[in-house]
Amino acid sequence: MNQADKTVDNKKNSLRKAQLDIAQIPLLTEEQINMLQAAGAQIPEGARIRMTDDVLECLMNQYRSDKVSLDIEIGANVVFKDKAFVSRNVKIKDNVIIGYQAFLAYGAEIGSGSCIGDRAVILYSVQLGGNVTIGDDVTLYNKVRIKGGKKTTIGKGATIGTGSIVEKGINIIPQAIIGPWKIVCELESEGVVIIDMFESIYSGRKDALVQLIYSNIISINDLEQAMTISWSEGFYTGIEEVDQQHFQMIRDLNELGKNLLQWEDKDEILERISKLRHELLDHFMTEEKYRVTGTSYISAYQQGSLHFSDYLETIFTNIDTSDLTPMFISNFYHSMFIWIIEHEILKIDQLYNKLLSMELVEKEPEEESREAIHIEKDPEDWSAILEGGF
């Protein structure tokens, strides 16, 4: 048998094994589908969904602990392998496979015919078009968009940074690392290229982006979406003061994104950056009204807030418009974007609310204008509390 025949046989054997593995995952019963629908899942009539018991229980735990609708969409012929985690407000189209221990965060959208590899991490508001293959151990950070329509593959172990866009038909090699706000596309004259949104705008090399726009490879709307956080009902923590601050920070960060794309007035950009910095520092002070003690998780978060405050203070020492270099803008915007999404809206403030609602903590007055939250009892499983907040 020659090498070509061996390769074909190996592929056939791999396919058979994959089919056998999938066949061992149980189909949801009508009763289980009804239970998910009652919890806020939209599932078409007659859909065949394969899902292990632990995935189903994880979804239902989110519904029970959050006490709000799951607000997820699951199409026909969808397979969830063992220990996959699917957060609220996720949309999964038809004929999709979600791999073993794969993680789909809040707001992710998975197009028809796509396959998510084992242990892949799909973070906030990632969009996958149809017929996209995500390899094992891939990480797609917040707001990444992989366009569908042609076969697109992200190789095993690859990492794609926040806000990046991969055009349809592109194959990313295994272990590749693509930074935030990059455009990966194919040009007739150059082949596959990676274009940095910030560098193209801030260094005066807008011609690269203009070429993509006029070639209908990318649109202004694509760029704005990559730099925009859409406010969602799922972001509410139930703490009015915190919610108002979150809403204001998101609105101002989105406005800054528009300013950055236009890159017309450095003074206005500097003013917006300074405003965001002050808003975040004020927010840290607000959080101090709700001090949580008794867990290493909370302590680590509070330490992280202090470090981030120090970072903001350091980079803003005697800053003026001459300091608004592509590197500075990229680092600041990326840091703010990630912090607001991952640390504020989708994690710790949700945890505060869950601790209160599950009666695992008790508020006690400590000082004037200050409240302390102390753990009354240890929850049986902290992961069950944290699940819905990521």
Collect contacts of 31-36 with beta carbons under 8 A, ≥24 apart: 32/56, 35/60, 36/60, 36/70, 36/74
With a cut of 50, say whether residue 12 has pLDDT above it: yes
Mean pLDDT of 276-293: 75
Contact 209, 197 (CB under 8 A): yes
Q: Where are the alpha helices (DSSP H) in 323-377?
A: 326-338, 349-357
How are beta strands 191-196 and 97-98 bridged, if at all?
unpaired
Residue carrying structure tokens 């992961």: 383
- Token pair in block for residue 323: 């300091």
With a cut of 70, say whether residue 385 has pLDDT above it: no
pLDDT band for position 278 (cuts 50, 70, 90): confident
Question: Could you tell me which residue, 298 or 95, shows the higher pLDDT?
Answer: 95
The whole-number pLDDT of residue 181 equals 83
The whole-number pLDDT of residue 370 equals 32
The whole-number pLDDT of residue 197 equals 74
Average pLDDT value for the chain: 76
CATH architecture of the domain formed by 233-389: Up-down Bundle (1.20)
The whole-number pLDDT of residue 103 equals 92
How are beta strands 41-42 and 78-80 bridged, if at all?
unpaired
- Token pair in block for residue 48: 């065949």
The whole-number pLDDT of residue 387 equals 35
Give the integer Cα–Cα distance in Å for 314 and 360: 37
What are the φ and ψ backbone dihedral angles of 378, each rounded to 5 degrees? -80, 130
Residue 374, strand partner residues: 293, 362
The whole-number pLDDT of residue 281 equals 82
User: How confident is the model over 307-364, as pLDDT tens digits?
Assistant: 777 777 776 666 666 666 666 776 777 778 878 877 766 664 455 455 444 444 444 4
H or E, element range at 193: strand 191-196
User: Which is nearest to 56 in space by CA: 98, 21, 95?
Assistant: 98
- Token pair in block for residue 327: 């590197």
Distances (CA, A) of 71 to 38, 97, 105, 343: 10, 20, 13, 22
The answer to whether domain 3-180 has CATH 2.60.120.10 is: no
- Token pair in block for residue 27: 């189909």
Residue carrying structure tokens 């066949």: 23
Mean pLDDT of 234-249: 83
Return the domain boundaries, the chain. Answer: 3-180, 233-389
Q: How many CA atoms lie within 13 A of 171 on its CB side?
A: 3
With a cut of 70, say whether residue 42 has pLDDT above it: yes
Question: Could you tell me which residue, 80 or 187, shows the higher pLDDT?
Answer: 80
pLDDT band for position 379 (cuts 50, 70, 90): very low
**SS3 at position 145:** strand
Whether the CA torsion 252, 341, 279, 326 is positive or negative: it is negative
What are the φ and ψ backbone dihedral angles of 289, each rounded to 5 degrees? -70, -20
pLDDT band for position 176 (cuts 50, 70, 90): very high
Sequence-separated (6 or more) residues with CB below 8 Å from residue 336:
253, 276, 280
- Token pair in block for residue 333: 């915007």
